[in-house]
Structure 1
Amino acid sequence: MFTGIIEEIGAVQAIKQGANSSVLTITGTKIFDDLKLGDSVAVNGVCLTVSTLSGNSFSADVMHETLSRSSLGQLKQGAKVNMERAMPANGRFGGHIVSGHIDGLGTILQIKRDDNAIWYTIRAPREILRYIVAKGSIAIDGISLTVASLTETDFAVSIIPHTAQETVLSLRRVGDTVNLENDIFGKYVERFLTQPPPAASNSTSPSSAITAEYLINNGF
């Protein structure tokens, strides 16, 4: 699990292409203090497993499913990437729950400055927009951000200069694609409310009393 608070910007040192997969080698500084083989690192929001480790670089296998669903397949040698280690049990929770499993890609429609704020408007597929709510959380290239506004085709976020400087979002331009991960709680709630209850069994446990009507009546 990650929090969407980027620890550092790394760089793609090498890309080894396979038939339907690749191996990324990424360099950095901060995250290597206690990085070990088998650890999870979110790279532009994608959870990768450290398969080899050498000095200030690590390699990770990227499967076909990940390449098809995320922007990792578009990376070139030398590209800058957001990096975050998995959150330790005693770590500080600064953002929101980020799984590192990308839901899809968005396209930057507009970048606008407003005093000290930088606004990004991003077009997203309907299957992603359905889980986005105004003032809710979304991970963009692994960055935990708050949704400022929302339409039927796109949404907007506003970031401060510090966030821009400490992440690769400052390098993005209109037309670029970004990795998007919805807040997982919305997906859990939808499944809970829309899936039929399991078939009756010998269990004596009572079925849940939480229904859509119950939630509405109680102000949700």
Structure 2
Amino acid sequence: MFTGIIQAQGRIARTETRGGDTRLHIQSAEFDLSETQIGDSIAVNGVCLTVVSLETDGFSADVSRETLSLTTLGSRPMSSPVNLERALTLATPLGGHLVSGHVDGIGTLVEVREEARSLRLQVHAPNELAPYIARKGSVALDGISLTVNEITGSVFSLNIVPHTREKTTIAHYRVGTQVNIEVDLIARYLERLMLSSHACAGENASLSKELLARHGFL
């Protein structure tokens, strides 16, 4: 588990193809690895990866074909900046929100504009993720814990304060940039609970306005 509070940035130093999967080598001069051990979890742009080797200036992790197909890690060129966060402990301040490191889908930046000292982003999410994104709710973008300002259809907006812009890869965002999206954990489990009767019967069902209204949410 993570909090979505980015601790440092790194870069993709190199990649290796191994039996159809990929090994990523991440370098970062500012990421503290002094207490990291082989087998520990680190979120790389919001993707939970397992450390398989440690170097003086970084670490390596294996990425499966499944992860490559569902996240932006497979399309990131060499030297691309990435957000880094170590897994939380019971002593970690929960400054963001609970983030699992399991990416739900890939979104696309449709607007990036200056607004006073902040940055306003608009992100187009996959249609199937839109029901899980709520106004003033939490969402993780490339592993960054953010608050949704507004959502219209499948497009949601975010306000980025100067500190977040400076300390994360958001400074590199442009229109067309693709980002990893993880919706709030509560939304996932709420849907599963509401659909439990269908699931137990082996039926396929999904979250809809009709289902929300039936349970008193609309």
Higher-Rg structure is 1
Tell me the percent identity: 40
SS of 1:51's partner is strand
> In structure 2, how many angstroms separate the alpha carbons of the residues matched to 1:214 and 1:127?
20
Cα shift readout 1:176-201 (whole Å, capped 9, x = no counterpart): 100000001101011101121859xx
SS of 1:31's partner is coil
Q: In the alignment, is residue 193 of structure 1 matched against residue 194 of structure 2? A: yes
- Counterpart for residue 16 of structure 2: 16
SS of 1:78's partner is coil
> In structure 1, how many angstroms separate the alpha carbons of the residues matched to 2:103 and 2:32?
22
> In structure 1, how many angstroms separate the alpha carbons of the residues matched to 2:32 and 2:193?
37
- Counterpart for residue 120 of structure 1: 121
> In structure 1, how many angstroms separate the alpha carbons of the residues matched to 2:68 and 2:213?
40
- Counterpart for residue 183 of structure 2: 182
Q: Where does the alignment leave 5 or more consecutive residues of structure 2 unmatched?
A: 202-211
Question: Counterpart amino acid of 1:13?
Answer: A
Cα shift readout 1:57-105 (whole Å, capped 9, x = no counterpart): 1100000110000000012221110000000111110000000000000
Whether the 8 Å contact between 1:71 and 1:177 is mirrored in structure 2 is yes
Whether the 8 Å contact between 2:7 and 2:85 is mirrored in structure 1 is yes
> In structure 1, how many angstroms separate the alpha carbons of the residues matched to 2:48 and 2:129?
19
Question: Counterpart amino acid of 1:27?
Answer: Q
Question: Counterpart amino acid of 2:58?
Answer: S
Question: 1:147-186 maps to which residues of 2 (within 5 A)?
Answer: 147-186=148-187
User: 4+ residue runs of structure 1 moved beyond 3 angstroms?
Assistant: 212-216
How far has the Cα of 1:32 moved from its partner?
1.1
> In structure 1, how many angstroms separate the alpha carbons of the residues matched to 2:109 and 2:129?
15
How far has the Cα of 1:19 moved from its partner?
5.5
TM-score (ref. length: structure 1):
0.89
Task: Give me the CA root mean square deviation.
Answer: 2.0
Whether the 8 Å contact between 2:112 and 2:173 is mirrored in structure 1 is no
How many residue pairs were aligned? Answer: 207
Label 1:73 to 1:214 Cα distance change in 2 as closer, same or farther (>3 A). closer
SS of 2:194's partner is helix
Whether the 8 Å contact between 1:41 and 1:50 is mirrored in structure 2 is yes
Question: 1:67-216 maps to which residues of 2 (within 5 A)?
Answer: 67-196=68-197, 216=216
- Counterpart for residue 44 of structure 1: 45
TM-score (ref. length: structure 2):
0.89
> In structure 2, how many angstroms separate the alpha carbons of the residues matched to 1:188 and 1:126?
19
